[in-house]
């Protein structure tokens, strides 16, 4: 399977398009027959699988947004022939404060892992290299066959740990590469520089989940001597695009996912900014078809000089995060808090406000499965990660967006100058 994925990136445009059309036809036919939500969506739009023959026909299908998906039951978005007991439930990164859940069966998970390996290989990461991942979830589970046979041996480190301990664990493991959210690795790099630690020398840093700024990329180079390669994706649909060693844009994984840039529900031309809308071509357990991510980006007209046929895109707005300073001296990424609250059922939307170093207010909008236990779970999960802090929970009817139309899920009133 990996060899096929490696081959696909070098296909000629006509061959890649033929592969996309074939996969799309199969996906639409499957979703119409087996997924209640998409059967209803297509039927209301008076569309049958016979109407979708090529990628150009995709725009006939109505766009789905987060608000269309998040109130559905899991069964409504799951294929009738999928076994939920064998599925992993992937939840959104939470940067919008509105969690969405999508089932991934074992085959979908394996393809996702292999596309991620392809990204790393494109940037020069050898399969025998050792990786430290700083994050709550594991991109490559410890018990996965790939790990057991020695490919990309990965050590996971919790971003909730003291930075001193994170650095010590990285130093002992001696990784060839670091992987995680930019803000998490940036915190480690800044602390490594502050402490004058010399033994951490990864040649590569892989980032994703947040916007990567050039300051952070340069910091990784200055502190670790490492080249940083970023990728763009989402928990609902998996990896979407990645930087190769040429860094001329982000290659869209066009054999696995279709990307449209839309504005007011219409597809816009290359070079024009709009909202990123994606269709996953391999998740048959919980299909994602024309799903608007609410991130702003655009397609590039030029091909990459690396020679890959995968087209290029760029993201110009979307997910960002700041640092959280805690009473015990730890400094953690805000996305760590999001990942902590995401698994809690019953939350339609949430926003975290750090009033003081030791005081956090969580505003929540009730979901279907909200109960009195939900409040206690929020408090307990945050205390487990953040330590000796006070957590207040306020139930509200609505959490407004900011002037730009984006939802800012985290706000801190604590000034932290460590990364200035």
pLDDT of the chain along its 420 residues, tens only? 889 999 999 999 999 999 999 999 999 999 999 999 999 999 999 999 999 999 999 999 999 998 899 889 999 999 999 999 999 988 775 545 567 889 999 999 999 999 999 999 999 999 999 999 998 777 777 777 888 888 889 999 988 888 899 999 999 999 999 999 887 898 899 889 888 998 999 999 999 988 888 878 999 999 999 999 999 999 899 999 999 999 999 999 999 999 999 999 999 999 999 999 999 999 999 999 999 998 889 999 999 999 999 999 998 854 434 578 899 988 887 777 877 887 888 887 788 999 999 999 999 988 878 998 999 999 999 999 999 999 999 999 988 755 433 456 788 888 755 543
Please indicate, yes or no, whether residues 238 and 387 belong to a single structural domain of this protein. no
Q: What is the dihedral of CA 343, 347, 349, 353, to 10 degrees?
A: -80
3-state secondary structure of 158: coil
Instruction: Number of helices (H) and strands (E) in the chain: give both, helices first.
Output: 12, 20
Phi-psi region of 66 (alpha: psi -120 to 50; beta: other; left: phi over 0): alpha
The answer to whether the beta carbons of residues 96 and 335 sit under 8 Å apart is no
Residue 417 forms part of a structural domain: no
Q: Which domain holds residue 329?
A: 323-412
DSSP code at position 85: G
Count the domains in the chain.
2
Say yes or no: 386 and 296 in one domain. no
Question: Do both 209 and 352 map to the same domain?
Answer: no
Q: 96 and 154: one domain?
A: yes
Sheet bearing 359-366, strands edge to edge: 390-395, 359-366, 347-356, 410-412
Beta strand 266-267 with 274-280: parallel, antiparallel or unpaired?
A: unpaired
CATH number of residue 368's parent domain: 3.30.300.30
Query: Is 419 part of a structural domain of the chain?
Result: no
Say whether both 310 and 371 belong to one domain: no
CATH number at residue 110: 3.40.50.12780
Residue for token pair 């096929």: 4
300 and 361 assigned to the same domain:
no
CA distance 341 to 164: 25
367 and 289 within one domain: no
Looking at the structure, tell me whether residues 42 and 171 fall in a common domain.
yes
Burial string for 106-132 (b: 16+ CB within 10 Å, else e) reads: eebbbbbbbbbbbbbbbbebeeebebb
Looking at the structure, tell me whether residues 267 and 402 fall in a common domain.
Answer: no
**Rounded CA gap, 292 and 313, in Å?**
16
Residues 298 and 381 in one domain: no
């Amino acid at each position: 399977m990996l060899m096929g994925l490696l081959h696909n990136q070098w296909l000629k445009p006509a061959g890649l398009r033929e592969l996309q059309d074939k996969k799309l036809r199969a996906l639409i036919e499957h979703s119409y027959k087996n997924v209640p939500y998409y059967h209803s969506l297509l039927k209301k739009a008076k569309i049958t699988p016979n109407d979708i023959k090529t990628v150009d026909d995709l725009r006939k299908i109505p766009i789905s947004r987060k608000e269309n998906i998040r109130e559905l039951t899991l069964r409504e978005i799951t294929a009738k022939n999928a076994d939920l007991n064998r599925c992993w439930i992937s939840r959104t990164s939470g940067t919008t404060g509105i969690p969405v859940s999508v089932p991934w069966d074992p085959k979908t998970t394996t393809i996702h892992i292999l596309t991620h390996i392809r990204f790393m290989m494109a940037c020069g990461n050898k399969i025998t290299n050792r990786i430290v991942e700083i994050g709550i979830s594991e991109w490559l589970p410890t018990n996965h066959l790939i790990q057991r046979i020695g490919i990309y041996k990965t050590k996971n480190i919790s971003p909730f740990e003291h930075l001193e301990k994170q650095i010590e664990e990285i130093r002992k493991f001696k990784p060839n590469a670091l992987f995680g959210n930019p803000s998490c690795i940036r915190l480690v790099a800044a602390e490594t520089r502050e402490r004058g630690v010399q033994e951490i020398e990864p040649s590569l840093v892989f980032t994703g989940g947040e916007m990567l700024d050039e300051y952070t990329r340069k910091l990784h180079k200055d502190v670790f001597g490492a080249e940083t390669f970023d990728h763009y994706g989402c928990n609902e649909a998996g990896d979407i695009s990645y930087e190769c060693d040429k860094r001329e844009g982000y290659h869209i994984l066009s054999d696995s996912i279709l990307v449209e840039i839309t504005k007011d529900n219409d597809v816009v031309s290359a070079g024009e900014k709009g909202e990123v809308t994606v269709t996953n071509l391999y998740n048959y357990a919980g299909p994602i078809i024309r799903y608007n991510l609410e991130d702003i980006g655009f397609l590039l007209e030029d091909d990459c000089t690396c020679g890959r046929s995968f087209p290029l895109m760029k993201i110009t707005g979307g997910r960002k995060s700041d640092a959280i300073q805690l009473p015990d001296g730890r400094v953690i990424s805000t996305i760590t808090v999001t990942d902590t609250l995401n698994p809690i059922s019953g939350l339609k939307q949430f926003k975290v406000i750090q009033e003081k170093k030791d005081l956090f207010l969580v505003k929540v909008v009730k979901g279907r499965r909200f109960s009195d236990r939900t409040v206690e779970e929020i408090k307990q999960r945050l205390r487990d990660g953040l330590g000796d802090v006070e957590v207040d929970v306020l139930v509200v009817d609505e959490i407004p967006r900011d002037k730009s139309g984006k939802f800012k899920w985290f706000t801190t009133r604590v000034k932290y100058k460590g990364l200035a």
